[in-house]
Structure 1
Amino acid sequence: MLSTIFHLILLLVLAFITISSETVNGILLTITPAAVETKPELVQFSIEPIELPELAPVEAASDHGLASQVEVAPLLSEITLAQPQAFAPEMSRINPFSQLPKTSGASLGTSQNVGEVSSMFSGRTGKKKQELLAKYGGTQATEDAVALGLAWLKRQQRTNGSWSMRGPYRDGSLMENETAATAMAMIAFMGAGNTHRSGKYEREVMNATQWLVKQQNRVGFMAERANDHEKMYAQGLATIALCELYGMTHDYWLRPYAQLACDFAVDAQSPQGGWRYQPKFDSDTSVTGWFLMGLKSGEAAGLDVDRYVFMNIEKYLDTVGGRGYDQGYSYQVGEEATRSMTAEGLLCRQYLGWQRNRPEMTHGLGSFVAKDPIDRRDSDVYYWYYATQALHHYGGPLWQKWNDKMRVELPAMQEKNGGEQGSWSPVNDAWGAYGGRLYTTCFSLYSLEVYYRHMPLYAGQAPAAAEEDDK
């Protein structure tokens, strides 16, 4: 009882005591037990390193050689383009390259055309290459010429991995275009089965690839330093080179570069349906053919290519010819048809899905064999390049007649001695003074590699009736 009374009195006394807020400097913590006992867990994160490809070292004789590894995401500068004087004043304020939007990268789907398969490049090596050589009329002489030509190209490669249109060889071009020169040489090496991972010229292709991808800027353009009217030619060739190399190897680090080149091509297509000297502005059959082959190479390699780009090319080709029974193709709308543009136009039509038995194709290709066969007195490696490809795809007696001359005349025109052994002289060629020795050599090699460079589009299809009449 006494204890109870004492504590009650103590509690009443404490109740009347007030504490100033200025004297409170502590923190009241209330701790209650958790309903469920938790135990922290340690989570381990593992970041796997990305292995970059081992690049072959460049034999640098100067301080301008490249680093020994490809930068998968290099810092790329935007294009600075000299303004074309032929444009209207309002156009001169626009840099057409910097205005290009990026594609989403999502394909709308692509359709396989006649004979087109993902193994477009599968005949360039091994047993398949030998089978195609025998089937389509290649000889030891054509293969020896290819070997000699590639050896010449190897000797011309510069220490940084690129090639030059001007030299150091004789009879170079009057104008420089390193991107075009490098892409052309790469295409010649790859046509014979060389890549940056295999082949006799593996090192040369690797060094060239290393140089070429370093030229690509954020919108995919690779020919900033070329002359205005040569930029898009070079870009088309470089697109072919990257897409073919990716298609042959499926090397993962190449895909972003090849895809970006395809995206640029799609974005740069003009309202007319083709390409010319500036993105989205005007079209001609020559530049259009190069971009079509670049995009078809990309499509065959498994890259994303908007299918509508090919429909637009068909519409453009309809405007420059090919709609009549014997009508050829012109360089631009309203001009006269020429043999080189007709050959290029017909090859484009083949890749766009024309059936082999179309009379326009039979008569067009037949006129090449009958009226304009390969003749060293009338040299035109550009025409020969396109006619050889189109006739090879077509096959049959027309191809046999063409090839009977081509496989003899082209090796015979190759220089066999001296410092330029293995090359083809540009003297007397239709565009030789403009393109120079590298141009005539590369285009001659493409023709001699035709037996296996691309798988034939119409293999196994029967000859057309009109062709039987021409035999």
Structure 2
Amino acid sequence: MSIHARLNPEAQANLEAQRRASVITSMIIAVLSVVLAVLILFFILIPSLIVKSPTIVAYTAGSEEEDPLQQKRITREVTPKPNAPSSAMAKVMAAVTPSPTAVPVPEIEAVPALTYGFRDDIGQGWGTGGNGGGGGFGRIPAAMRKRCSKIDRLRRLKQSGGTRECEEAVVSALRWFKKVQRPDGSWGGSHQVAQTGLVLLAYLGHCETPLSEEFGDAVTNGMVYLIENSVKNKGRLCTNRGDKHYVYEHGIATYALAEAYMFCRVLGLNIPNLKQSVQLGVQWIIDNQNSSGGWEYGFDEGSRGGDMSITAWQLQALKAGYHSRLEFRNLRECISRALTYCEGRQNSNGGFGYTGTSPVGGGHFTLTGAGVLCFQQHKGTNHQAARKGMDYIDRHARINYQSGPCNLYEHYYVSQAAINHGGQSWLKYNDKFRDTLLSGQQPDGHFRSPPSPGPGSKNDPVYHTALATLMLEVYYRFLPGTGFGL
């Protein structure tokens, strides 16, 4: 008996019919392919077989009357010399040497760099008086670019729920800083390196640079003070190296110098020792990270392993260092370890603790904004830790400049975290902080000490005014949704 299966006659007939149809189809396709190939060759070869007769074109020379020569004439007209650039544009620093006073800035005539599209002067978009985009500022990171045009600033201010009073308050504060700057270029009655860094950040937050007409001298002298300090301390930025709190000063001042370097690089300004100060400052932070991933007082390997407050300033400085486009060893690895440390400080309720998952002294988690901002800057607003922290802020953020609480240190971070997050979180927070913060400004431009002001120099008006100014610049200082992540 055969073990092979057999098709019935009907199925066999159908199979044969399919085979015949397949063969016929294949033959038709083959014939069409040959015809198509012949047509392609025909159209390729036919132009070369056609002989074109050259066209001869003759030109008739014109007469002398038709093309008269222009006779050269001597004129006594004098082309006026272009106006010299304004003094603000010509400011440069001749040297940076350790001394108790700021380096004098000579007034010289300089020709504007053509790469920035200038003609006779700085033009619009630079510093306080800018009304346009400002040549050269297009190369600033997108997250920071909107601060450098007055039109864009006011547009962002309006779109984000700010008012013209907010902008007027910022300018008034910047003018007050100019009046109270110390002869050596610093600000503040104590911890001058940290407070000078905060004030510089406030100036830069309004896009005031060494070339700014109204505030250029103040910015330049503040930068010189910090650069001199870096040179004197071989890269470490501190008022007193014996004070363990200098870890704060170093982080804040490095943040300010890195941001200043970014602006100067875009403007083509070569400030002596600025680049080196940024390189040394950022690298010092990286090289002296605690084994826990955070940072400790005095950059020591203490038993605490650091805290969230210190760590937040170092992470802000590292972000600014990244934007500087300078090269740093182990930057990414350092940031990754730091964010792991921050995750370990977050409580199950979303708040960020101090050295662990508990707040300082119990109660309110005042460092939640700091933790949220760290993740927003380096991982984006949708990171789980950032969103969880914002939920806590939505439920618990409180600020009242008249009756308290008014922890400006806490709300320096919360204001940035809230606008980055956007949506209802920002709308509700803006309603809480904007008008009450404006109520704290005095007629001369400074902000008085609020009730329950939080950590820091509680009785120093420079400190309060710097934090309040940075909070009011939040509407345009950074553009939410851009510039995050490495």
Contact 1:187/1:241, CA 8 A, preserved across alignment: yes
1:183 and 2:197 correspond: yes
User: Which residue is 1:264 aligned to?
Assistant: 284
In structure 1, stretches of 5+ residues that fail to align are 1-51, 58-62, 71-116, 167-175, 460-471
CA distance in 2, matches of 1:214, 1:456: 34
CA distance in 2, matches of 1:440, 1:227: 25
Question: Which of 290, 299, 319 is the aligned partner of 2:322?
Answer: 299
CA distance in 1, matches of 2:338, 2:383: 21
* Aligned sequence identity (%): 27
Higher helix share: 2
SS at 2:204 equivalent: helix
Q: What is the 5 A alignment of 1:379-390?
A: 379-390=406-417
Q: CA deviation at 1:329?
A: 1.1
CA distance in 2, matches of 1:388, 1:382: 10
CA distance in 1, matches of 2:255, 2:399: 26
1:65 and 2:101 correspond: yes
Q: CA deviation at 1:276?
A: 2.0
Distance 1:255 1:421, change over 3 A: closer
Q: Which has the larger radius of gyration?
A: 2
User: Which residue is 2:431 aligned to?
Assistant: 404
Question: Which of 336, 343, 352 is the aligned partner of 1:329?
Answer: 352
Question: Which of 281, 288, 294 is the aligned partner of 1:274?
Answer: 294
Q: TM-score, normalised by structure 1?
A: 0.67
CA distance in 1, matches of 2:146, 2:380: 23
CA distance in 2, matches of 1:280, 1:240: 20
1:368 and 2:393 correspond: yes
Contact 1:179/1:223, CA 8 A, preserved across alignment: yes
Question: Which of 207, 216, 232 is the aligned partner of 2:221?
Answer: 207
Tell me which moved more, 378-387 or 133-142.
133-142
What per-residue deviation string (whole Å, max 9, x for no partner) do you get for residues 262-290 of structure 1?
11111111111111212252311101101
Contact 2:144/2:478, CA 8 A, preserved across alignment: yes
Tell me which moved more, 244-253 or 201-210.
244-253
Distance 1:226 1:434, change over 3 A: farther
What per-residue deviation string (whole Å, max 9, x for no partner) do you get for residues 404-423 of structure 1?
2222111112122xxx5432
Q: What is the 5 A alignment of 1:94-105?
A: none
What per-residue deviation string (whole Å, max 9, x for no partner) do you get for residues 63-112 of structure 1?
95333269xxxxxxxxxxxxxxxxxxxxxxxxxxxxxxxxxxxxxxxxxx
What per-residue deviation string (whole Å, max 9, x for no partner) do you get for residues 95-146 of structure 1?
xxxxxxxxxxxxxxxxxxxxxx933321212133233222212211111111
2:244 maps to a residue whose letter is H
Higher relative contact order (CA 8 A, sep 6+): 1
Tell me which moved more, 227-236 or 247-256.
247-256
Contact 1:179/1:238, CA 8 A, preserved across alignment: yes
1:349 and 2:375 correspond: yes
SS at 1:352 equivalent: helix
User: Which residue is 1:83 aligned to?
Assistant: none
Q: CA deviation at 1:436?
A: 2.4
CA distance in 1, matches of 2:100, 2:186: 12
Distance 1:335 1:406, change over 3 A: closer
Q: What is the 5 A alignment of 1:30-109?
A: 54-55=92-93, 64-68=100-104
CA distance in 2, matches of 1:436, 1:378: 18
Distance 1:130 1:369, change over 3 A: same
Q: What is the 5 A alignment of 1:105-184?
A: 118-126=141-149, 127-164=151-188, 166=189, 176-184=190-198
CA distance in 2, matches of 1:429, 1:280: 28
1:235 maps to a residue whose letter is H
Q: CA deviation at 1:427?
A: 5.0
User: Which residue is 1:339 aligned to?
Assistant: 365
1:234 and 2:249 correspond: yes
Q: TM-score, normalised by structure 2?
A: 0.65
Q: In angstroms, what is the RMSD of aligned CA positions?
A: 2.7
Contact 1:379/1:428, CA 8 A, preserved across alignment: yes
Contact 2:405/2:451, CA 8 A, preserved across alignment: no
Distance 1:451 1:159, change over 3 A: same
What per-residue deviation string (whole Å, max 9, x for no partner) do you get for residues 177-226 of structure 1?
12112111111111111011235311100011111100014641011525
CA distance in 1, matches of 2:342, 2:464: 27
Distance 1:435 1:354, change over 3 A: farther
